Amino acid sequence: MGPASKEMRWETQSGVLAGMPAQWSEARRFWAANRFWMETQNLASKRYGGKRKQHWYAMMVMTKVLEQALRITGYYEAGRAHADDLRLRHIDLAFPDLPPAFDGFTLLHLSDLHLDGSPGLEDRILALIAGQTFDLCALTGDYRAAVHGPHDRAMQALERLVRGIDTREGILGILGNHDDTHMVPPIEAMGVRLLVNERFVLERDGQRLQFVGTDDVHYYYTDQAAVALQSARDAFTIALIHSPELCDAAAAAGVSLYLCGHTHAGQVCLPQGVPLVKHLRAGRAYYRGCWHHQGMLGVTNSGAGTSGIPVRFNSRGEVLVLHLRRRAHGV
Residues in contact with Fe ion by the rule CB under 5 A: 142, 176-177, 262
Classified as helix, coil or strand, 75 is: coil
d(CA 160, CA 151): 15
* Minimum separation from the CB atom of position 318 to Fe ion (A): 15
* Residue (176 or 244) nearer to Fe ion, CB: 176
Helix pair angle (76-84, 56-73), 10° resolution: 110
What's the sign of the alpha-carbon dihedral 144, 150, 151, 157? negative
Q: Smallest distance, Å, CB 218 to Fe ion?
A: 6
Min dist. Cβ of residue 301 to Fe ion (A): 11
Contact 276, 308 (CB under 8 A): no
At its nearest, how many Å lie between Fe ion and the CB of residue 50?
21
Q: How far apart are the first and last CA of the chain?
A: 53
**How many alpha carbons fall within 13 Å on the CB side of residue 101?**
10
CB nearer Fe ion, residue 29 or residue 242: 242
Q: Which residue's CB is nearer to Fe ion, number 99 or number 173? A: 173
Between 262 and 288, name the residue whose CB sits nearer to Fe ion.
262
Q: Report, in Å, the least distance between residue 204 CB and Fe ion.
A: 33
Residue 178 · residue 215 · CB < 8 Å? no
CB of 250 to Fe ion, least distance (A): 17
Q: State the Cα–Cα distance between residues 180 and 47, nearest whole angstrom.
A: 19
Q: Which residue is nearest to Fe ion (CB)?
A: 262
Would you say 199 or 218 has its CB closer to Fe ion? 218
Is the CB of 47 or the CB of 204 nearer to Fe ion? 47
CA distance 331 to 78: 33
